[in-house]
Structure 1
Amino acid sequence: MSTLPWLHPDRVALLEAALAERILILDGGMGTMLQGHRLDEAGFRGERFEHGHDGEHAHHHDHPGCDLKGNNDLLTLTQPDIIRGVHEAYLEAGADLVETNTFNSTRISQADYKLEHLAHELNLAGARLARAACDKFTALTPDKPRFVIGVLGPTSRTASLSPDVNDPGFRNVSFEELARNYTESASGLIDGGADILMVETIFDTLNAKAALYALDTLFVERGARLPVMISGTITDRSGRTLSGQTAEAFYYSVRHARPLSVGFNCALGADDLRPHIQVLADIADSRVSTHPNAGLPNAFGEYDETPEHMAGVIAGFARDGLLNLVGGCCGTTPAHIKAIAEAVRDCAPRQLPDAALKAA
């Protein structure tokens, strides 16, 4: 990826300048905010997929009959004002970068709703919504440019592990199929105006490698590239990803992509993520990011960690020089992001190792 020019060199220059100056703030949870709207089936369908009066679907070509409630990414098309509102709430709270509502916008993940054919459109529209929100806020504060992160989620399949405990050799997805999915989704994000692409919540490094391969190929085809962020997920307190890697092994598996940043998100709260972020900060020649959950889920699957507590823990990360980019994942809200932004405001960003700066 290193030899191609940037697709948006001016935006990359602004991003690099901001990263050199301070710790940048990512947004918080999208799903958390959407749950607050308590949308029912009709709310998810919107006008485009509404049921006809006779119980039939008004638009057969768009959607075969199955429930769409819970398909948060579909709201990009059916409730764009809600998604725009979430982006703007996080920008208002101090986010420098907002993530597109495209976590499940791959064919593989949309297959659960029989909406595979919408994959490109979901990414295109998702990036456009985030772009418009960022441009609006950048115009208000030109000295604080805002950036769109085009999100590529992990999909609902895993290339390294068998879904069948009785057949360990079985796989329900191939590297090639994942790469095709990621190519289609990333094309939509690029066309919609993303500044950065983030392969995130990686529980299987082989899936991530398929995504990085797809991006590399796509950039070559287009003759230009975007910065790439990579964020894994340590799935439990064993300190490993689902496919069995420690933080250090994960980093060495993906550093060939020369990412803008490597980090961890989701699964754990900030307290439990701390040792893994410390490992990355010690070894990474890229920048380090984290967007933890608001603690671990309680018995009701909800997240209880207050903005004050979370910001206090993250302030410790920042004071110790571990961070370049920080935000929130599940359970976090604009209040969490505002508290985090205030907590790290006076802390210097983690310095890249000298060797990395020379290589860049």
Structure 2
Amino acid sequence: MHNHPTGKPLTIVIAPDSFKGSLSAAAAAAAMAAGAREAGLALGRPVLHLTLCPMADGGEGTLDTIAAVWGVEPSIMLTVDALGRSRRARYATSADGRTGLIEAAESNGLTLVADALPQPQRADTYGVGLLARELLDQQVEEILLCVGGSASTDGGTGLLAALGVRFLDAAGLPVAPGGAGLAQIASLDLAGLHPHARVVRWRVAVDVNNPLCGPAGAAAVFGPQKGAQPRDVAELDAGLARLAAIVLAETGENMSGRPGAGAAGGMPATLVPLLRAELVPGSTLVADAVGLAHKMASADLVLTGEGSFDSQSLGGKVAVAVARLASAGCPVVVIAGRVELSAADSAASGVTAAFSIAGGPSTLDDLQAHAAERVRETTAHAVALFLQSR
């Protein structure tokens, strides 16, 4: 591991998240690479082996980030938004055709229905299900589903309806779409479920621990931002509880209090028991999808970064997820807009050191306007320190 100028080139893996509002993950990685090269030249160590691996946390931008690392262009297909209106949405399939990736917000996103009056009880995930059905038709082996930014509270029933599951009332008729129909569900008919739906491995990126129902549940916490008034919240919560009871009777799996089941309007409530979906932190899902652990195995230094390195970062955002994958003895340096964690907290999370790009008293606007050059400069300082120590 201890190189000198004539040894093998040092390997630096660069795996930042986006800096929200100023730099995409790819732009941040490019700026860090420029800084590392600058430091190498200045110290007479021009030959650095740089591996760029832009990251994401499973939220907005994840599709673009993973598709870029996979080296594929996202595909486009006709689907529907959360209110059932026709729309085109993107998804991605890995180059070997084995893994499909869906960013639910491409069809189910809250921003896509901002032009309409909120219909919190009508909104559903059927459009996400159409994307999933396309991937199942392609016979992928794994579906990665990023569920952030959802506009619905339907417990994932719309998605499953698109895959052929029927949610029936006491008279044996299909219930109304969206959260409104949940309270009427009396039974499930799985006979028409897509034959590949239970063969494929489902991994769902979830970054909240909210349960399905109750005061911390999907309807109470996330319903209001989707336009739900207090009465809607109560009805949606009761509907999700009803759904959980039916699912429990059908599968023996109780989702009502399970941490994370309240994500994305309760999508895990049906995906986990009916399709055996696994819930994983978004950063972990992305790291696996881009093969980050393999890329980092031979690294001498790992650089990562995000807009703000703070207490939320410890809950599994990109920087800490990257640090956890680093091999023992490999330093991990965070470059961030703001650094709010102490050196001790950083060290406890596996981060060797964290540097803020703020070069002095500056406004957020100023930082965002000059983010790329500040990331480059700060990285140059950090890498110079590392190179000097080798």
- TM superposition score normalised by structure 1: 0.31
Looking at CA atoms only, which structure, 1 or 2, has the larger radius of gyration?
2
Higher strand share: 2
- TM superposition score normalised by structure 2: 0.29
